[in-house]
Amino acid sequence: MNHSLLMSILILSPFVGFLINGLRYKKHNYLVAGTIATSAVFISFISAVFLVVDLVGLPPDSRRIAVTFFEWIRVANLSVDAGFVVDQISAIMILIITGVGSLIHLFSVGYMHHDKGVAKYFAYLNLFIFNMLLLVLGDNLLVMFVGWEGVGLCSYLLIGFWFTDETKAAAGMKAFVTNRVGDAAFLLGMFILFLTFGTLNFSELNALVPAAAETSWLGAITLGTLFLFVGATGKSAQIPLYIWLPDAMAGPTPVSALIHAATMVTAGVYMIVRLNPMFMMAPNTMMIIAIIGAATAVMAATIGMTQWDIKKVLAYSTVSQLGYMFLACGVGAFGAAMFHLMTHAFFKALMFLGSGSVIHAMHEEQDIRKMGALKKYLPITHFTFLLGWLAIIGIPPFSGFFSKDEILWMSFHSPLGHPVLWAAGALGATLTAFYMTRLMCLTFWGASRVPKGTHPHESPITMTIPLVVLGVLSVIGGWIGIPHIVSDFLGHLPNVWEEWLHPMIKEVPNMGPADASLEWALIATSVGLASVSALVAYHMYVRKPGSASRVADAMGPAYKIVYNKYFIDEAYFAAIINPLVKGSRALWYYVDVNFIDKCTYWAADVAKGGGALIRSLQNGNMQQYAMYIGIGLVVVLSILLMR
């Protein structure tokens, strides 16, 4: 098949879907809209599969399908093509995006069937897929940036989808603006890289990277990558720009699954992996990334332990898992980052969709205090959610185990890593096990707290199919990247993942030989900690339901702080937003209206006053005029005589 045709179909099919649904924005028929949108993404998925198959057919070192449609911007030595490339990294991404995307579209058909703006909803969703594909397929930073902003835009639209609710609209705006902060940094990063290397093309950039690592903090690569990373913290919800993601749960739940769990938020990780040779040469940036990643992983997990909103818990979980991915990037385990990205896409999309199914069943109730014992009402949802739960807390052989273990091992073992980072990661894993179990317990197990009048029911088949598919993927997804040590144990299973990514990933230099016993010990530790923590949670929330609140009371102010998300939002408001708005008002009132404009008035008054002064000389009294003549005469005569 012609690659450029396939590529066009891949990219444009969702766009066409967007246009069709966008033009029928007034229609309410969810089946038509949903069919159009889902098939658009599915067509995209099929062409993605074709492309990847072709890619696999190529020899490993030249696995790259590049298509350039046209030259986008050409000014002096800046030449940016609307060029797209499928290689090992983007192949994974397009499969995830279109694959998981189709499932979520399918889920949405059932989930959104009662909504009036369903055509609009699907249009936005398709537009998102389109932009996400631009992001991952772009062969240069600028095209990536197009998608980068585009997905932010769609996220804005979808979070504020129910725009009549003020808070939801505000959440959308918060997401966009926070992302925009990152985008601004991304721009700066692009400028630095372009002015240093003279190109924005990924392959050219990666080829131009100097051989020696840059140790200076203010060197071009360090600064450039640091700015790009700030951009990534915006998109991928890391400290300090993670604040938008929990609020983004205001959007419809499938949106949360698609955008805020599986695809968009991983863009930052993707970008770093794309530029991994560049990042490798900036150890300072790598250190920052690792620290931020680990800190986010832990912090978000602690907040996740205290939340009552099912989606908020998942949102903080997402932030935390993204932290793992950044931790992986920071320690040079780019392959592990991508691996976790993929497994996370499966199990987190699954859990979000599961929560959507629950919310759907509970008639838009999201508070887990009003759920419980839903196992019997929602058997399929429960079972798939269970798979997701096992995956995320890292129980072998579920997918999450392999990817998370790889990250933890690398954070310990890699020369860029540090035992502290490993400890933070392990702590995060422990906390994750706790809050996810808590979620399971409060939602599906234990005693029912469902209010009277609510009759939970299992979701329709369009919603359960995606759950099942994702559930299967959550289980087996990790098997393509089984760590060496485990595969050795099991009898030399190939690590497909590593081989696949190998040409694109720059090896961490000075990597010591792996110590098998140490690795086993670490695996045992993390799995053990997770299991213990899960059991504790089970004990607290199912066996002795009252114990949790007692613990919370015992923690006192610490619990308060965590429950209120460390007051970060409030701090941002107090430190930045409110002063900014107030300052702007002051600026407008005191500077603009009462100073600059007044200055012009003063200028006018000076002119007017001068006029009045001269006018008073012209008072109509002829004798006065004659006097002026006389004065003139005297003056002129005096001057003449002085000479």
* 465 forms part of the interface with other proteins (CB under 8 A): no
16, 49, 66, 173: which one binds other proteins (CB under 8 A): 173
| Min separation Cβ 406 and other proteins, Å | 33
35, 39, 196, 487: which one binds other proteins (CB under 8 A): 196
* 183 forms part of the interface with other proteins (CB under 8 A): yes
| Min separation Cβ 146 and other proteins, Å | 4
* 642 forms part of the interface with other proteins (CB under 8 A): no
Tokens 């690792």 belong to residue: 290
Nearer to other proteins, 51 or 127 (CB): 127
Distance CA 9, CA 27 (A): 26
Q: Pattern 132-151, binding to other proteins, x per CB under 8 A?
A: ----------x--xx-xxx-
Cβ contact 458:464 at 8 Å? yes
* 639 forms part of the interface with other proteins (CB under 8 A): no
- Which DSSP string do the residues of 287-299 spell out, in sequence order? HHHHHHHHHHHHH
Nearer to other proteins, 143 or 342 (CB): 143
Report residue 332 as tokens: 């040079």
Residues 579-608 that bind other proteins (CB under 8 A): 580-581, 583-585, 587-588, 592, 596-597, 600, 604
Q: Which of 409, 488, 398, 464 is nearest to 436 (CA)?
A: 398
Distance CA 10, CA 16 (A): 11
195, 516, 518, 575: which one binds other proteins (CB under 8 A): 195
Nearer to other proteins, 278 or 374 (CB): 278
47-55, 207-215, 390-398, 411-419 -> range binding other proteins (CB under 8 A): 207-215
Residues in contact with 432: Cβ distance below 8 Å, sequence separation at least 6, in sequence order? 301, 304, 317, 320, 321, 392, 393, 394, 530
Burial class (CB in 10 A: 0-12, 13-18, 19+), 45: buried
* 221 forms part of the interface with other proteins (CB under 8 A): yes
Nearer to other proteins, 173 or 423 (CB): 173
84, 194, 409, 444: which one binds other proteins (CB under 8 A): 194
259-267, 497-505, 566-574, 633-641 -> range binding other proteins (CB under 8 A): 633-641
325-333, 351-359, 420-428, 577-585 -> range binding other proteins (CB under 8 A): 577-585
Distance CA 461, CA 438 (A): 28
520 CA to centre of own chain: 33
* 192 forms part of the interface with other proteins (CB under 8 A): yes
Distance CA 584, CA 409 (A): 49
* 188 forms part of the interface with other proteins (CB under 8 A): yes
Distance CA 531, CA 38 (A): 39
Distance CA 350, CA 381 (A): 9
Tokens 């006192």 belong to residue: 556
169, 465, 493, 561: which one binds other proteins (CB under 8 A): 169
* 229 forms part of the interface with other proteins (CB under 8 A): no
| Min separation Cβ 77 and other proteins, Å | 6
Residues in contact with 434: Cβ distance below 8 Å, sequence separation at least 6, in sequence order? 305, 533, 534, 536, 537
187, 386, 493, 568: which one binds other proteins (CB under 8 A): 187
* 164 forms part of the interface with other proteins (CB under 8 A): yes
553, 554, 641, 643: which one binds other proteins (CB under 8 A): 641
| Min separation Cβ 482 and other proteins, Å | 39
24, 113, 180, 370: which one binds other proteins (CB under 8 A): 180
294-302, 434-442, 498-506, 628-636 -> range binding other proteins (CB under 8 A): 628-636
Annotate 353-405 with three-state secondary structure: HHHHHHHHHCCCCCEHHHCCCCCCCCHHHHHHHHHHHHHHCCCCCCHHHHHHH
Residues 298-357 that bind other proteins (CB under 8 A): none
| Min separation Cβ 636 and other proteins, Å | 10
* 181 forms part of the interface with other proteins (CB under 8 A): yes
Distance CA 55, CA 53 (A): 5
Please state at what angle helix 88-111 crosses helix 267-274, rounded to 10 degrees. 170
| Min separation Cβ 192 and other proteins, Å | 5
Cβ contact 98:468 at 8 Å? no
Pairing of strands 64-75, 78-87: antiparallel
| Cα torsion angle, 371, 377, 381, 385, sign | positive
* 623 forms part of the interface with other proteins (CB under 8 A): yes
Q: Which of 138, 112, 99 is nearest to 28 (CA)?
A: 112
Nearer to other proteins, 69 or 308 (CB): 69
* 71 forms part of the interface with other proteins (CB under 8 A): yes
Helix (H) or strand (E) holding 65: strand 64-75
Alpha-helix residue ranges (DSSP H) falling in 236-333: 244-247, 253-257, 267-274, 276-280, 283-306, 310-330
Residue 70: strand, helix, or coil: strand
Residues 350-389 that bind other proteins (CB under 8 A): none
* 72 forms part of the interface with other proteins (CB under 8 A): yes
Nearer to other proteins, 154 or 258 (CB): 154
18, 124, 128, 197: which one binds other proteins (CB under 8 A): 197
Cβ contact 514:485 at 8 Å? yes
Site size toward other proteins, by CB under 8 A: 85
* 203 forms part of the interface with other proteins (CB under 8 A): no
Q: Pattern 76-115, binding to other proteins, x per CB under 8 A?
A: xxx-------------------------------------
218, 447, 554, 613: which one binds other proteins (CB under 8 A): 218
* 287 forms part of the interface with other proteins (CB under 8 A): no
* 610 forms part of the interface with other proteins (CB under 8 A): no
